Amino acid sequence: MNTTTPGTYVLVHGTWHTGAELEAAASHLRAVGHTVHCPTLAGNRPGDDRACTGLEDAAQSLKTYIEEHNLNQVRLVGHSDGGMVISRVADLLPQRIARLVYVNAFVPQPGERLNDLVPPHYVALFNSIATQTGGGVMLPFPVWREALINDADLALATRAFEQLNVHPYKTFQDQIVLSQPMAAMAVPKSYVNCRMDTALPHSLGWHPRLSERLGLFRYAECSGNHEVWFTDPEAIAAAIERAGRD
């Protein structure tokens, strides 16, 4: 990993994760001098109500975390639907953010839902699962393995899947509140693309379909799938550092 001036990173997990699953990558960033936080968002904590927790609740929990820890000049890193959350928090706390870093993450326009940005067959699957689970959503293992952790062997994929938790579906259905498109926000932005990520069809790819919504942005990439946090935490940490440098 190429070392840069030490900074403060907040790694924001995506669907089905908590902050714990990002700790392996965080350890590589800490090893070269960065301060790294891995909070768990509202809706993914033990005992959280998966039926009622929405996107704004998740964003407000991250805002509260940053304020309570008095974090400034933050490199705010969002993975997958964590991109929805960091976009909202950039609108809420622009004075505390040094750079937004999207890691194969959704980049919304004002008023969009995550469900607006995924293929219809995913929405149909999510709707069916949420109906059965009372408002939570979890991908079946065969779908998750092939689409999200496609370069892992069965043993690693199984261990990783066992660490996941049911996600509040309301966060996918809620419209995001943004004062302006992300391209118009003055905060610096970066996009990290994991080249082997097949979580979305390549015709609806993460980059450039979503990254170009940032306007002016820094691009970084690494090999790896959507769940690179499990398969190659050192590689994703290095890419995040390149994306977040001064």
Tracing tokens 């090999």 back to the chain, one arrives at: 223
Which long-range CB contacts under 8 A does 39-44 form with residues at least 24 apart?
39/10, 39/12, 39/65, 40/13, 41/12, 41/13, 41/82, 41/85, 43/167, 43/168, 43/171, 44/13, 44/16, 44/17, 44/18, 44/165, 44/167, 44/168
The Cα 102–Cα 192 span in angstroms is 6
Answer whether the bond into residue 39 is a cis peptide, omega within 30°.
no
The Cα 3–Cα 82 span in angstroms is 25
Tracing tokens 């043993």 back to the chain, one arrives at: 155
Catalytic residue positions?
A: 80
Amino acid at site 59: A
Tracing tokens 């990520």 back to the chain, one arrives at: 197
- Spell 148-185 as b/e; 16+ CB within 10 A means b: bbbbbeeeebeebbeebbbbbbbbbbbebebeeebeeb
The Cα 126–Cα 143 span in angstroms is 12
